[in-house]
Structure formats: structure tokens, C-alpha cells
């Protein structure tokens, strides 16, 4: 009897739990939220600069998410919302740096250096190859080689 | 000696130069795209006289400093006594943007620790601050007579910044 009482007590204490889960916002349009998620995952939180706007719990992130939600509901397109943010915070708010004249070095630099390195390596090896003079084996040396190979079998 | 042995040395020296310059900068600082652009429109109730509004527009014709601050911001409290000194000099009028703060607490702080501001605008939800690209108080903007932002300081205004950058610029703008 006591065990049943305990079981019922535990069961009843679990029931109201979902009703008080505080984080979920009341009835947000799932389409708006989906767009929000897609957008904010491309954006950086400026306070915790390693986190996306989607993940960050910072006050500023909450404020910016609220603003973005407003803009989405007002019917703004994604590029318009991104422009809204970069006008105020600059390109740093984007996780992927845009490909502009000032970031060409960032985007293409490594490939250019890699290419340059390959070219240099190619020329260096070519030069080394010329230094190697291959002398054909003498008869005695050939016999020695064959004996060694046969003895290893 | 083979000339190619100088290449690693040259690369190393180049690396040292880049590190020397780069490591002195603050990686957390986000440069503002609003420099040399018009200050965003701002129409807010004042902190002290709630029925009055403050608009950035009314500041045309003056060179002024907008300081974004809050009582919950520790660095702002550090900056506060310095702001009082700068305000005493009278070189640049300082206007405050009270950012997402509690009105009573803000008024209390100004009463207890002195008031360097000509007046304060009260930005309850931080919306105007977002327009100004604020991401961490304290932040200060030097705005010229035509309402163009000429300088932004992120973090407390140290005496070096005040005397080295803000005062000379303000003097130039006032000519």
C-alpha cells in the first residue's frame, strides 16, 4: 500500500512538469521560427563572439533576435534583414566573411600560397633530378645483385 | 651560402611584424560601420524629466559626445568619475543614453556619484542602441555639427583617449 502511494505521488509530481517548462515561447509561428533559426545560425553574437545569434543567451542576442523576429513578421527578406544588421554592426556580425575586395586575401590567399608552393616544389625537384647521373650496373655488380635477390627468396 | 636559406628568415621577420601589430589590437573590438555616417534618428524620453523628449536632431549645430551607459554595467561605473572630470573642462558637452536601465537606479546613481551629463535619454528596450550599433556598454560617440558620427570609442574613455583622440578631433570639428 505504501509503495503504491509513493508511486502515485511520483507520477503526480511529474505530470505538471511540461506545463511549466519556461523556455518555449507561446505560440510562435513555426515558419517564422524556422526562418529565424536559419538566419541566426549564420550570424555572430557580438558579446560572446564564438557563438551564433541562435545559441547565445546574452542580452544583446535576445534583443537582436526580437528585432529579427519583428522584421520577419513585417515581411522583410533575408538579404534585407542581413543588410539591416550589417549597416549597424558591420561585416563582423556575419559568420562567413563576405567575399569583398578587402577579404580576397583571406579567401584566396591560402590557395594562392598552395599553388605557389607546388610550383616551387616542382621546379626544385626538376633541378634535383638533373643532378642525378644514373650509371648502368657493371656485369660484376649485376651478378652481385642477382645473387642477393635469389638468396632472399 | 645558399640564397634560399634567407627565405625562412624573411618569412619569420614578416610573421614577427604581423604579430607585433596584431597582438596589440583588441580582438573583441568590432569596428563600427557608422563612422562618417549620419547618427541614427533617436527620439526618446529623457531620464530626469520624463515628459520631455530628446532627439538627436536637436543637437545640430553642436559638437557633442553621446555616452551609452547603465547602472548594471561595471565598466561604466569605472568610467563615471572620469566623465565628470571631462565634463568639468567644458570642452565637449556629454549627453547620456541610459541603456536598458532602471530609471530610479539611474537617477540614484547620478545623485550619489555626480552627473556629468547635460541630460540623459532613456532607452528602455535598447532599440535605439541597436540602431547605433551598441554591443557592450560603455560606448561613446563623438558627433559633429551636421549630425555625422566622427568617432566611436568602445569601452571606458581613458584620459589618453580623451586627450589624444577626442579633444583634438572636437577642436578640429569646432572650427
Q: What pLDDT sits at residue B40?
A: 92
Q: What pLDDT sits at residue A48?
A: 87
Give, as one character, the DSSP assignment of residue A18. Answer: G
Using the predicted structure, report yes or no on whether residue A153 has a pLDDT greater than 70.
no
CATH number of the CATH domain containing B121: 3.40.30.10
Q: Within 13 Å of residue B33, how many CA atoms lie on the same side as its CB?
A: 14
Last residue of a domain, one of A49, A82, A97: A97
Could you tell me the three cell numbers for B115?
Answer: 552627473
A80-123 pLDDT per residue, tens? 999 999 999 988 889 888 888 888 888 999 999 999 999 999 99
Q: What is the DSSP pairing of strand B64-69 with strand B139-143? A: antiparallel
Q: Taking the C-alpha atoms of B76, B82, B85 and B89 in order, what is their torsion angle to the nearest 10 degrees?
A: -90
Percent of chain A with pLDDT over 70: 90
Q: Which domain holds residue B52?
A: 33-174
Residue B40 lies in a domain: yes
Using the predicted structure, report yes or no on whether residue A23 has a pLDDT greater than 80.
no
Residue B21 lies in a domain: no
B77-111 residues labelled b (16+ CB within 10 A) or e (exposed): bebbebbeebbeeebbbbbbbbbbbeeeebbebbe
Q: What pLDDT sits at residue B16?
A: 96
Residue A149 lies in a domain: no
Same domain, A33 and A50: yes
Chain B closest-CA separation from residue A105 CA (Å): 15
- Minimal CA–CA distance to B94: which of B74, B110, B71, B73? B110
Helix (H) or strand (E) holding A119: helix A104-131
Q: How far is it, in rounded angstroms, from Cα B101 to Cα B70? A: 6
Residue A117 lies in a domain: yes
Q: What pLDDT sits at residue A76?
A: 87
Write phi, then psi, for A95 (nearest 5 degrees): -70, -40
Q: What pLDDT sits at residue B3?
A: 79
More confident residue, B65 or A15: B65
Q: How far is it, in rounded angstroms, from Cα B96 to Cα B86? A: 14
Q: What pLDDT sits at residue A22?
A: 40
Residue A139 lies in a domain: no
Q: Which domain holds residue A114?
A: 99-130
Residue B97 lies in a domain: yes
Q: Which residues of A touch B132 (CB under 8 A)?
A: 88
- Name which of A30-34, B2-6, B161-165 the model is least confident about: B2-6
Residue A136 lies in a domain: no
Same domain, A60 and A105: no
Same domain, A36 and A76: yes
Give, as one character, the DSSP assignment of residue B58. Answer: G
- Name which of A8-17, B54-63, B93-102, B105-114 the model is least confident about: A8-17
Percent of chain B with pLDDT over 90: 79
Residue A2 lies in a domain: no
B30-52 pLDDT per residue, tens? 888 999 999 999 899 999 888 89
Residue B62 lies in a domain: yes
Same domain, A40 and A93: yes
pLDDT averaged over chain A? 84
**Averaged over B104-124, what is the pLDDT?**
93
Contact B131 A60 (CB under 8 A): no
Radius of gyration of chain A (CA): 34
pTM above 0.80, yes or no: no
Same domain, A47 and A73: yes
Q: What pLDDT sits at residue A16?
A: 58
**Averaged over A129-142, what is the pLDDT?**
82
Give how many domains chain A has, as a whole number: 2
Q: What pLDDT sits at residue A21?
A: 43
Q: What is the DSSP pairing of strand B94-99 with strand B120-123? A: parallel
Spatial contact of B66 and B143, defined as CB atoms under 8 Å apart:
yes
| Backbone conformation region of residue A114, classed left if phi is above 0, alpha if psi is from -120 to 50, else beta | alpha
Same domain, A75 and A104: no
Same domain, A122 and A88: no
Spatial contact of A63 and B126, defined as CB atoms under 8 Å apart:
yes
Same domain, A88 and A111: no
Residue A6 lies in a domain: no
Residue A15 lies in a domain: no
**Averaged over B72-101, what is the pLDDT?**
93
Using the predicted structure, report yes or no on whether residue A25 has a pLDDT greater than 60.
no
Residue B17 lies in a domain: no
Beta bridge partners of B122: B98
- Minimal CA–CA distance to A83: which of A43, A36, A34? A43
Interface confidence, given as ipTM, is 0.80
Q: What pLDDT sits at residue A100?
A: 84
Q: How far is it, in rounded angstroms, from Cα B94 to Cα B120? A: 9
Residue B12 lies in a domain: no
List alpha helices for A15-77, DSSP H. Answer: 30-40, 59-73
Using the predicted structure, report yes or no on whether residue A20 has a pLDDT greater than 60.
no
Q: Taking the C-alpha atoms of A79, A85, A91 and A95 in order, what is their torsion angle to the nearest 10 degrees?
A: -80
Q: How far is it, in rounded angstroms, from Cα A52 to Cα A61? A: 9
Chain A closest-CA separation from residue B34 CA (Å): 7
> Which residues does B contribute to its contact with A (CB < 8 Å)?
28, 30-34, 100, 125-127, 130-133, 135-136
More confident residue, B1 or B92: B92
pLDDT averaged over chain B? 91
Residue B100 lies in a domain: yes
CATH number of the CATH domain containing A41: 1.10.8.640
Q: Best mutation site among B31, B36, B39, B130 for testing chain A: the one with the most A CBs within 10 Å?
A: B130
- Cell match 596584431: residue? B22
Give how many domains chain B has, as a whole number: 1
CA A128 from centre of chain:
41
What band does A135 get if pLDDT is binned at 50, 70 and 90?
Answer: confident
CA A130 from centre of chain:
45
Q: What pLDDT sits at residue B97?
A: 94
Chain B closest-CA separation from residue A106 CA (Å): 15
Q: How far is it, in rounded angstroms, from Cα B167 to Cα B142? A: 10
Same domain, A54 and A85: yes
Residue B109 lies in a domain: yes
Same domain, A71 and A89: yes
Amino acid at each position: 500500500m505504501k509503495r503504491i502511494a509513493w508511486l502515485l505521488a511520483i507520477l503526480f509530481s511529474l505530470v505538471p512538469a511540461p506545463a511549466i517548462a519556461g523556455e518555449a515561447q507561446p505560440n510562435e509561428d513555426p515558419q517564422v521560427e524556422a526562418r529565424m533559426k536559419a538566419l541566426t545560425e549564420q550570424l555572430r553574437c557580438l558579446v560572446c563572439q564564438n557563438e551564433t545569434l541562435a545559441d547565445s543567451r546574452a542580452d544583446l542576442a535576445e534583443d537582436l533576435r526580437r528585432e529579427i523576429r519583428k522584421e520577419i513578421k513585417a515581411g522583410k527578406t533575408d538579404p534585407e534583414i542581413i543588410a539591416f544588421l550589417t549597416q549597424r554592426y558591420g561585416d563582423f556580425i556575419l559568420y562567413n566573411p563576405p567575399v569583398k575586395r578587402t577579404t580576397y586575401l583571406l579567401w584566396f590567399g591560402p590557395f594562392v600560397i598552395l599553388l605557389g608552393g607546388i610550383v616551387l616544389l616542382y621546379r626544385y625537384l626538376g633541378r634535383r633530378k638533373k643532378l642525378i647521373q644514373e650509371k648502368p650496373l657493371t656485369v660484376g655488380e649485376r651478378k652481385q645483385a642477382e645473387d642477393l635477390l635469389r638468396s632472399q627468396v | 651560402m645558399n640564397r634560399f636559406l634567407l627565405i625562412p628568415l624573411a618569412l619569420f621577420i614578416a610573421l614577427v611584424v604581423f604579430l607585433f601589430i596584431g597582438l596589440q589590437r583588441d580582438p573583441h573590438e568590432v569596428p563600427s560601420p557608422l563612422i562618417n555616417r549620419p547618427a541614427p534618428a533617436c527620439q526618446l524620453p529623457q531620464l530626469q524629466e520624463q515628459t520631455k523628449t530628446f532627439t538627436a536632431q536637436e543637437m545640430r549645430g553642436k559638437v557633442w559626445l553621446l555616452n551609452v551607459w547603465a547602472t548594471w554595467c561595471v565598466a561604466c561605473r569605472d568610467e563615471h568619475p572620469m566623465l565628470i572630470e571631462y565634463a568639468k573642462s567644458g570642452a565637449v558637452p556629454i549627453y547620456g543614453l541610459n541603456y536598458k536601465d532602471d530609471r530610479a537606479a539611474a537617477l540614484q546613481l547620478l545623485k550619489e556619484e555626480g552627473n556629468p551629463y547635460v541630460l540623459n535619454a532613456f532607452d528602455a528596450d535598447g532599440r535605439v542602441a541597436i540602431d547605433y550599433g551598441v554591443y557592450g556598454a560603455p560606448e561613446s560617440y563623438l558627433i559633429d555639427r551636421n549630425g555625422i558620427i566622427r568617432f566611436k570609442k568602445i569601452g571606458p574613455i581613458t584620459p589618453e583617449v580623451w586627450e589624444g583622440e577626442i579633444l583634438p578631433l572636437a577642436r578640429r570639428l569646432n572650427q
